[in-house]
């Protein structure tokens, strides 16, 4: 069963990287590579295609059910949005949570502010998706300490700037 272990580890690796674009091609390439690299398994084309179909089904199910996917983090309120982003593994810091809870996205995005997708704010500008803001704040959390200075170039709506200001003022 070494080919099954190889395919299962490749499947987990794909979702660890959160890449769903061209997953099916990667899975098929994995089947072919595994049979080439491990000739003792003697995988026939039919076995490879059967394994590919099984993995394709698993991929589809995982994409539909995986709550860690960023586009599944939308909410009906700011609190629900922040909770879903944290639950989805986009951020884990209490400081990021507090800053995002204190800054209601509804004040910065006119339509569907709690949807986890970019929103138009006029003048050909957009406010980034909430998961992008959360990821940026999580990445910068060790630099956005009390008393630090931060510059947000191209601040757009100002949402991220306010969150950053809150993080440096705690």
| pLDDT tens profile 20-59 | 444 445 545 555 555 555 555 555 667 667 776 776 666 5
Same domain as 95, residue 151: yes
Same domain as 164, residue 80: yes
Same domain as 163, residue 90: yes
Last residue of a domain, one of 43, 65, 87: 65
Asked whether 2 and 41 are in contact (CB, 8 A), the reply is yes
**Which comes out higher in pLDDT, residue 9 or 78?**
78
Same domain as 132, residue 49: no
Same domain as 123, residue 53: no
Residues contacting 107, CB < 8 A, separation 6+: none
Over residues 130-154, the mean pLDDT reads 91
Give just the sign of the alpha carbon dihedral 103, 107, 108, 113: positive
Same domain as 92, residue 51: no
Count the domains in the chain: 2
CATH for 83? 3.40.50.150
Give just the sign of the alpha carbon dihedral 26, 31, 33, 34: positive
Same domain as 103, residue 165: yes
Q: Is 94's pLDDT higher than 90? A: yes
Last residue of a domain, one of 11, 30, 65: 65
What's the full length of the chain, in residues?
170
Last residue of a domain, one of 46, 65, 84: 65
Structural domain boundaries, residue 121: 71-169
Say whether 92 is catalytic: no
Catalytic residue, from 128, 155, 157, 169: name it.
128
Same domain as 80, residue 56: no
How far apart, in whole angstroms, are the C-alpha atoms of residue 103 and residue 98? 9
Asked whether 164 and 144 are in contact (CB, 8 A), the reply is yes
Same domain as 104, residue 48: no
**For residues 138, 103, 149 and 90, what is the CA-based torsion angle, rounded to 10 degrees?**
10
Cα dist. 56→45, 78, 96, 113, 159 in Å?
A: 16, 35, 36, 34, 39
Whether the pTM exceeds 0.85: the reply is: no
């Amino acid at each position: 069963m070494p080919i099954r272990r190889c395919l299962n580890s490749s499947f987990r690796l794909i979702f660890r990287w959160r890449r769903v674009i061209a997953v099916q091609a990667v899975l098929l390439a994995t089947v072919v590579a595994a049979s080439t690299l491990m000739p003792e398994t003697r995988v026939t084309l039919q076995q490879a295609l059967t394994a590919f179909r099984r993995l394709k089904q698993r991929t589809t199910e995982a994409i539909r059910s995986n709550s860690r996917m960023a586009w599944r983090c939308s909410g009906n309120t700011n609190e629900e949005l922040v909770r879903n982003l944290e639950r989805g593994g986009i951020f884990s810091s209490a400081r990021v949570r507090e800053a995002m809870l204190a800054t209601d996205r509804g004040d910065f995005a006119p339509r569907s502010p709690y949807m986890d997708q970019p929103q138009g704010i006029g003048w050909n500008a957009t406010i980034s998706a909430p998961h992008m803001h959360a990821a940026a704040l999580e990445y910068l959390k060790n630099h956005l300490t009390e008393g630090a200075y931060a510059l947000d170039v191209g601040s757009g709506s100002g949402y991220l700037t306010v969150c950053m200001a809150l993080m440096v003022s705690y």
